[in-house]
Structure 1
Amino acid sequence: MEVRKLYIVITLSEKHVTIQPLGFKYKKDDNRRALMETPNIASMRAAFFKKYMENKHLEFTRQLVFLDETWIFSKGNKMKSWQDENVKSVLDFASKSKLMDYHGEMHSENFTKRVENQLIPNLEEPSLTVMDNSPYHSVELEKQPSCSWKRGEIVEWLEKNEFRFDKQIFKAELLSLAKLHKKPKKYKIDQLLQANGHEVLRLPPYHCQFNAIEMIWADTKYNYNTHIGGVGHTDENVLEMWQKALEKCTPEV
């Protein structure tokens, strides 16, 4: 049997007519799709579901806690709601930053204080806390060598971890050696939660849709945007209206 390659050439004028019956639609693409299906991210997604399902089938299932941060415009946003890459803890503060969101003031120190002082005291039983990999969620217990490190810093790290090496080799070689002995990442916030009897489940990158709190943010922002106009826009009015919007998002909703 002779096998021949078949090439199909479709011109722009013919594309709509030729491809549409095959189930294709010409629409705005999601740039994350290709990233989400890389082997590394797909592996992280599989690990996420594995841990999620393992918890679900435990004899004593851990309480699921979805953790995230968001922001609102004080005067509301009638056009759309912004949602990011977590419903037990809600962290409210008025931003004084000139940036258009909370990132100017939400950093590792603030986030850690709120987890320690607000979230943990309100968790009545061991939890599985789901969060994304924002920089302030992901401060490592021990930084590991990177291209920005000086040669002496890499040497010091290798010596501290008792790796044998030739001190006369170049920085690039030292960095390759350090990467070869790279340790699993350990995060400060994970350690804080684990020390208080909780476990952490991190979302795979580009998968914020797996965080159930995104639905809470959408409903809450809709309620806020609908009602904020009539009560003024002072910090007190904004926080009061946001709290009322949160209270409307009950499990029944």
Structure 2
Amino acid sequence: MGFSWTTVDGRKALIENENIVLQRIDFLRKYKEEKERGTVSKSWQDKSLQSAKRRTVGDGKRFIVVNAGGRTGFVPGAGLLFVSGQKTADYHGEMNGETFLMWFEDMLVHLEEPSVIIMDNASYHSTQVEKTPTTNWTKAALIAWLEKNGIKHENNLLKVELLRIAKQNKPRIRYEVDELARYYGHEILRLPPYHCHYNAIELVWAQCKHHYNSNVGRAKRFDNDAVAAIWKEALDASTPERWARCVDHVEKLIQADWEREVHIDSGTIPPLIIHLGEDSSSEDSDSEEFEVTTQQVDGDSEVLAVPLDDLPGCSY
């Protein structure tokens, strides 16, 4: 096929996607600002749609669980459990923006204090108030959107030119759940991608599912009432004390990550350079103390050493 195994010229550095870094810093900054401001007296997390999966053979029912909670425990009256219409392992298709929005508004009325709601970017969390142009739009739809928003354009432009104008005048994305939360006096703080560890309810859900799986075997039947009863036990086991420990753990992670970002920004950490196609005897390294070296072993690259003991602010 024309491929050959050869040494890679030049040096490559493994770096994190800049957009992900910016989203993480934005999240950390906003979280700290809300914490220091003191105007939000309760911070709680929401990770919707967790499956209560039974381990025994039966009729294949799956149950969808929706809830929210914070340092003082689950939000009273916010729990929802219903039978999934799907028998696949993917429960996400069971929930859409309309269904989630109905549950979300009902949950908001049970919040007694202004709250910061931590939420991921699942599609049913991200229904836009007004859809913005994409490459999938037809030319007629683009023209209609430009005219609706009073954006000037020539009538003889091609679709790609109209799309460029639309992107140049693209408004800030507004989500329905964000607007609804503000209406009731709350704010939504969205997690950056790949950072579910900033969500305390992930820890709580793991404990709830462990309790459910450990006790579901004693159920004599698997009808809706029996499943709901065992799941209620799992939720009741997640006491305010347990919630508080989970929230404290997450807040320590957030504080540590913020301090790391500040430390990196100070410029005191040397770059971490990955040498590809070179052995550990290379003498022209730009980063002697922090290099990762590799060698070829049976056609694969094997890491020889990662001398990072003196790297401040990091743990492995």
What TM-score, normalized to structure 1? 0.79
Amino acid at match of 1:43: L
Q: What residue in structure 2 maps to residue 73 of structure 1? A: 53
| In structure 2, C-alpha distance between the alignment counterparts of 1:249 and 1:128, rounded to whole Å | 21
Moved over 3 A (4+): none
Instruction: Work out whether residues 109 and 184 of structure 2, in 8 Å CA contact, stay in contact via their aligned partners in 1.
Output: no
Q: 2:94 aligns with which of 102, 105, 110?
A: 105
Question: Greater RCO between the two (CA within 8 Å, min separation 6)?
Answer: 1
Deviation, 1:129, is 0.5
Q: What residue in structure 1 maps to residue 301 of structure 2? A: none
Q: Please, what is the CA RMSD of the aligned residues?
A: 1.9
| In structure 1, C-alpha distance between the alignment counterparts of 2:170 and 2:199, rounded to whole Å | 29
Instruction: Work out whether residues 52 and 209 of structure 2, in 8 Å CA contact, stay in contact via their aligned partners in 1.
Output: yes
Deviations 1:60-109 (A, max 9, x none): 33411211121121337xxxxxxxxx623433111121332422321111
| In structure 2, C-alpha distance between the alignment counterparts of 1:101 and 1:221, rounded to whole Å | 17
| In structure 1, C-alpha distance between the alignment counterparts of 2:55 and 2:228, rounded to whole Å | 12
Deviation, 1:121, is 1.9
Taking a change above 3 Å as real, the CA distance of residues 206 and 134 of structure 1, as seen in their structure-2 partners, is same
Amino acid at match of 2:27: F
In structure 2, list runs of 5 or more residues that go unmatched. 1-6, 8-13, 57-67, 70-74, 243-316
| In structure 2, C-alpha distance between the alignment counterparts of 1:245 and 1:214, rounded to whole Å | 14
Q: What residue in structure 2 maps to residue 47 of structure 1? A: 26
**More helix, by proportion:** 1
Q: Secondary structure at the match of 2:32?
A: helix
| In structure 2, C-alpha distance between the alignment counterparts of 1:149 and 1:215, rounded to whole Å | 41
Write the mapping of 1:226-245 to structure 2, written as runs, cut at 5 A.
226-231=214-219, 232-245=221-234
Q: 1:63 aligns with which of 32, 42, 53?
A: 42
Stretch deviating more after TM superposition (97-106 or 156-165): 97-106
Q: What residue in structure 2 maps to residue 6 of structure 1? A: none
Corresponding pairs, count: 211
Q: What residue in structure 2 maps to residue 172 of structure 1? A: 160
The answer to whether structure 1 residue 159 and structure 2 residue 147 are counterparts is yes
Deviation, 1:41, is 1.2
| In structure 1, C-alpha distance between the alignment counterparts of 2:114 and 2:90, rounded to whole Å | 32
Q: What residue in structure 2 maps to residue 29 of structure 1? A: none
What TM-score, normalized to structure 2? 0.63
Q: What residue in structure 2 maps to residue 25 of structure 1? A: none
Deviation, 1:238, is 0.9
| In structure 1, C-alpha distance between the alignment counterparts of 2:90 and 2:142, rounded to whole Å | 36
Taking a change above 3 Å as real, the CA distance of residues 94 and 149 of structure 1, as seen in their structure-2 partners, is same
Q: Secondary structure at the match of 1:99?
A: coil
Q: Secondary structure at the match of 1:125?
A: coil
Deviation, 1:206, is 1.5
Deviations 1:8-67 (A, max 9, x none): x8xxxxxxxxxxxxxxxxxxxxxxxx89x2111111111111110011111433411211
| In structure 2, C-alpha distance between the alignment counterparts of 1:50 and 1:58, rounded to whole Å | 12
Write the mapping of 1:1-253 to structure 2, written as runs, cut at 5 A.
37-69=16-48, 70-75=50-55, 87=69, 88=75, 89-117=78-106, 119-231=107-219, 232-253=221-242
Deviations 1:104-152 (A, max 9, x none): 32111111111112x1121001110010010110000010111111101
| In structure 2, C-alpha distance between the alignment counterparts of 1:59 and 1:216, rounded to whole Å | 25
Amino acid at match of 1:93: F
Amino acid at match of 1:75: R
| In structure 2, C-alpha distance between the alignment counterparts of 1:68 and 1:187, rounded to whole Å | 17
Stretch deviating more after TM superposition (232-241 or 186-195): 232-241
Instruction: Work out whether residues 71 and 101 of structure 1, in 8 Å CA contact, stay in contact via their aligned partners in 2.
Output: no
Q: Secondary structure at the match of 1:141?
A: coil
Amino acid at match of 1:109: E
| In structure 1, C-alpha distance between the alignment counterparts of 2:225 and 2:54, rounded to whole Å | 10
| In structure 1, C-alpha distance between the alignment counterparts of 2:231 and 2:141, rounded to whole Å | 47
Instruction: Work out whether residues 75 and 233 of structure 1, in 8 Å CA contact, stay in contact via their aligned partners in 2.
Output: no
